[in-house]
Structure 1
Amino acid sequence: MAGLLIGAAALTGCTSSSPAPQGQEPAAPQATLTVSPDDTTPAQRALAHVPGDVTAVTVTDFDRAALQLGLEELSSDLPQRERNDFWDRARRQTAILSDGLLRPVGPQLLRDHSFAQEDVGWEARLFDDQGQEVGWILGLHTIIDPRAVQKAVDAGVGPLADAVVDVDAGLVLSGAAVDATDPWGDDDPTGMLVTGNAVGTYVERGCVPAPAGASGLEPLAAYSVALEGTLATVRLGTDRQDLFARIALAAEDEQVTKAFEGGVADPGSGRIGYRLTDPVAAAELTLRRALPFAACAD
């Protein structure tokens, strides 16, 4: 899976510094993922359309990346120079996990259908257990008329060919995301690993191979990594007594420690908090699944 997932984003190095995370995060909620529409995050909206046989999901919130870079609004109404500048800076300075599915056909979409990649607030990509992409979801800005997107779908423009537009929800879905059965959201334990907003969110049903010498690790059925600003939050499920062993294991990996610094654990909620010192490198490691703190049981 590692080599194929990394293709979802073009990543280069960039570092930044900030105070280390303080204290422990609050306990993870024990209820379901059902929340009011105003409180629903892009990742939660995405997981409601991820079927049970999908293995991994990446969610990139382009709007949050824009805010992180000081841009009040991301839109195709922006001059071309400003849009190009955003994508260049986002790749070099933020933890985006995708370069934007519609970017290759952006000029055609803008010319013929009056919208482009910059009118997509967030994007989810779905992968099977071999790392092959099997579907995707686009969350449109509310100002975009989904019927205009439907015309682009009918015209078969780029990846929109054969996609399905959910007019009421403002979503565009393709592949496995269409008519998803047994979705990850709601009462699903995997869905409970996704709370809060993040520029980049990665969720996997599974674990990564344990490095040589790993010890003290409990079985791991699923994990998530949320990359937001200067913080990274790893969620492994509630009531885990192996978090400190996982932090120690990750501390032995030089690449990981350059991107994820520190490490505070809350065994009750099953969360590990890191200071995110290199968001681009952290995104690359996440896509490559090179994360010792998400290792399988030894």
Structure 2
Amino acid sequence: MSIQEMTAKIRDGQGFIAALDQSGGSTPKALAQYGIKPNEYNGDQEMFDMIHAMRSRIMMSPAFTSDKVIGAILFEMTMDRDVNGKPTPQYLFQEKGIVPFLKIDKGLEDPQDGVKLMKPMPGLDDLLARAASLGVFGTKERSVIDAANPVGIKAVVAQQFEIGAQVIKAGLMPMLEPEVTISIADKAEAEAILRDEIMAQLDAMDDSKQVMLKLSLPTVPNFYKPLVDHPRVLKVVSLSGGYSREEANAKLALNTGMIASFSRALIQGLNAKQADIDFDAILGTATTEIHAASVAG
């Protein structure tokens, strides 16, 4: 697929984006959810081998198809490895017709002003160039909002758009992810500040540029509709944020124009010990349900 075809797939595609980008910190939890306990691997290398095997199994499954899954977010190690004998990004867009993205953030700073900013990303330009050479379409970068603190939220959004500009300069599409923690008491207030800060940044962008947004499911349905409709936004996607798949799907279906980009909610029910027929059936149910919620609006 060309860049133009990938852009059209994300803009117009009737489906969702699979988040297969668990990093070093979240990989043990993902493997535990998948039925692999910490005592079943020895060290990081074996751990990453096992998570790649899980991701490969998902991507190669007959249930993982472009009529429901329009994109997939990869961890750097996943991008650099092969699936079924091909570099992962090429397998996705050549064999599956699915648009590849790359997680580029290096984790989170310590909390300050009610937020966790992204850590520095040394060598980002080189990583972006390598991703582009492998056929990656876009990136994803995550920070976290834990309180309705205007100073902290302003800093999060400014950092997200600063990194986004660097990604655009490299010829890739940035997916900005200022996640609002779903359990905080002032979640709705944090969302209001966040929306205003994002709108201000979008309004200041050059007309020729666009970003994507990955946001927590809002407290009030369609609260982010002004962002969905903004001409500088290619697509708004939502994370499951700790909700079960059933809860996340129900909330997502109330938000017109938003699609899913789920991780834990996608692999819910999958297990390394399952026979392929059972694995594919459970994954098929997940993709069908998440797809339905994504197109409901």
**TM > 0.5 between the two?**
no
Q: Taking CA–CA contacts closer than 8 Å with sequence separation of 6 or more, which of the two structures ends up with the larger relative contact order?
A: 1
| TM-score normalised by the chain length of structure 2 | 0.33
